[in-house]
């Protein structure tokens, strides 16, 4: 059973908190055949959230 958080839920998405969490995810940038690849550390807590956000941004179509 998850432990209840002492802080309210809005605290999780404050800009400073979000920036610190995303900035702490380790990544490896590689280049091969004129293409850049970014590999994120799967063990970090917020990696899935970051990958979901990147996927959603890339799926947007601008006209």
pLDDT score recorded for residue 10:
56
pLDDT score recorded for residue 4:
58
Between CA 42 and CA 37 the distance in angstroms is: 15
For 28-60, the pLDDT digits (tens) are 999 999 999 999 998 888 888 889 888 999 999
- For tokens 């990696």, the residue is 47
For 12-32, the pLDDT digits (tens) are 667 887 788 888 889 999 999
């Amino acid at each position: 059973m998850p432990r209840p958080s002492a802080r309210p839920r809005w605290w999780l998405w404050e800009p400073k908190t979000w920036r610190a969490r995303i900035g702490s995810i380790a990544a490896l940038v590689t280049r091969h055949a004129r293409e850049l690849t970014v590999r994120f550390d799967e063990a970090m807590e917020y990696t899935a959230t970051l990958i979901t956000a990147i996927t959603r941004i890339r799926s947007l179509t601008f006209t």
